[in-house]
Amino acid sequence: MKKHLRKMISFVLVMLLLCSSLWCGAIAFAESGKAVNVPVITVHGESTLICPREDGTAYTLYDDDEYVKKIAKAALPSAAKALVTGNWDEWCEKAFNALKPAYDNFKPDENGTPPPQSYPEFGWLNTHVFFSDNYEYTEAYDFYPDFRKPPFDAADDLAAYVRLVKDVTGQDKVILNGRCVGNSILLAYLYRYGAPNNYADIQSVIFALGSQMGNPGDQAMLTGTVDLTMEGVYRYYTTDSGNALASSLSGVLGGEVLGLMFDTLELAYQSKVISKITLDLVRDVYAKIKDKFIARIMREYYGRCGVYATMVNEKWEDYKAYVFNQPGDNVTFANLLAKLDDYHYNVQVHIPEILAEMQSAGVHVSAIVEYGHAASPMGGEECLQTSDHRVPVGRASFGATAANIGETLPDACIAVRTAAGYGDYISADGQIDASTGLLPETTWYIKNIPHDYPQCIKDLTTAIMRHPGCTCDTLEGYPRFTCFVDADTHLAPLAAVNPTDMDFTPKSKNSFIAFLNIIKRIFMILKAAIVSLFNRG
């Protein structure tokens, strides 16, 4: 009883402190009058979805990876059977039924409306205005869209938030800063609310880490066209020190087991025969489960989410045919599909025109792109292009030319572009020609950051905000190309070879050495198991 009483008292004290903070903030707003700077609104990328329990606690979608354990327990025996028989129907049914309950409290309805019992982790900020400590900017605010909504529905929420920020700051203009898929919502807002007013209330727009022109990995999943290359798989999983998935797997499987998996991948990468056998097996399995399992999951949850629909871009009609593939779907989901079509055909395919219109109206438009990492290997050859571990440079930069990860642009191509007067747009490492993008003068490229937003990127963002009209040639301390060193260091000038460049060459010189490494790893695992067994005795 005393324990619960202490919790109750603590809760009351916290609420009193929170209320007093909000009251002080309101007084500060009232006393300060008009804001000193044009307010900044950051439209964030996807955030964690939360659903409260009856006992007052809450859980997130895929809480504690329970869905993986359920699928493994329910469907693993069927998978072993399917590998022998070649029939994956039983596995598809069991895996789908095991995963489906995870979505029940989170999936939007047939109109794209999210259920009221779940919401984005920071969604409550959408109706309140709080200062952010990001960007060292006095009037900076955060907007967290609900990405389950169709883009224009989320844009309506953003419009209400913009009006609220303008009211409390007394300013008649805002700076809009998009991050990741937040850029899709930002573009929807610009089309619906900015263009009719000739962007009169927008000072500048920054597109950062953007997937607004589609993403080949997500595109492949949403259209049923997953295409793996052994080179792409190898570089994504083994040579990228920033791979969060590998780190989490290490905690689950143990370093030696994970090492064995990577050494096996090394052998497959080195041996054309083993590579073909491995990829053929994966492609065969994928072909048998993509319609009966993956498409069902896409249709049940992901395919109904506006943000995932914006990832598709040039394969839009393929997406609709793949996800909404059941008889009557065109009727059941007619309202949702109309909203998604509205975004795609009026916004996504007209991004160049929207950018040009904003610039003609006097809006300062810029972009921040990160690269130097492998992308998701699911989308075939395009996923070999250097990326920020998620979005290839060509898409994030609105069309800049980029080499494959770990490679450089052809010498002949660089020579031709340099002779034509574009030498300053070629990166020192020879991997990017920025002149072909839609914003060549106002796109900044930072190497060796894996789709992240550390303080040095916030500092660059602040500098762009503080200097409307700046270009890569005029913004002091921030040239067109820089390199990320670490979280506590300012961005360094990009060189041909940088201290943080990753080595994408294979560890083993040939398949025989790769095979020996596997044998060595197996003996190490067996030795550890035997030692553990004797220690127990």
Tell me: the pLDDT tens digits for 362-385?
999 999 999 999 888 888 888 899
pTM for the complete prediction?
Answer: 0.86
| Token reading at 251 | 């905690």
C-alpha span between 276 and 269 (Å, rounded): 10
Q: Give the single-character DSSP code of 366.
A: E
| Token reading at 532 | 């553990």
- 160 contact partners, CB below 8 Å, separation of at least 6: none
pLDDT at 325: 92
- 156 contact partners, CB below 8 Å, separation of at least 6: 192
pLDDT at 63: 65
pLDDT at 300: 86
Residues 282, 287, 293, CA angle at the centre, nearest 5°? 105
C-alpha span between 111 and 436 (Å, rounded): 39
> What phi and psi, each to the nearest 5 degrees, are found at residue 394?
-55, -35
C-alpha span between 463 and 40 (Å, rounded): 13
Angle between helices 334-346 and 316-323 (to 10 degrees): 170
| Bridging pattern class, strands 119-120 and 49-52 | antiparallel
Angle between helices 230-238 and 255-270 (to 10 degrees): 150
Of residues 268, 269, 250, 270, the one with CA closest to residue 259: 250
- 209 contact partners, CB below 8 Å, separation of at least 6: 45, 179, 180, 368, 369, 370, 388, 390, 391, 396, 451, 453
Helices (H) and strands (E) in the chain, counts: 20, 13
Q: Give the single-character DSSP code of 402.
A: E
| Token reading at 133 | 């400590």
CA 521 to each of CA 260, 518, 525: distance values in angstroms, whole numbers, following the listed order: 6, 5, 6
pLDDT by position in tens, the chain (length 537): 444 444 443 433 334 334 444 334 433 443 345 767 899 999 998 888 888 888 888 888 766 556 666 666 777 788 878 888 889 999 889 888 888 888 888 999 999 999 988 888 877 665 667 666 666 666 789 899 999 999 999 999 999 999 999 998 899 999 999 999 999 999 999 999 999 999 999 999 999 999 889 888 889 989 999 988 888 888 887 765 545 555 555 554 455 556 666 677 777 777 787 788 888 888 888 999 999 999 998 888 888 898 888 888 889 999 999 999 999 999 999 999 999 999 999 999 999 999 999 999 999 999 999 999 988 888 888 889 999 988 999 999 999 999 999 899 999 999 999 999 999 999 999 999 999 999 999 999 999 988 888 888 989 999 999 998 999 999 999 999 999 988 777 899 999 999 999 888 777 666 666 656 656 655 565 555 555 555 555
> What phi and psi, each to the nearest 5 degrees, are found at residue 276?
-65, -45
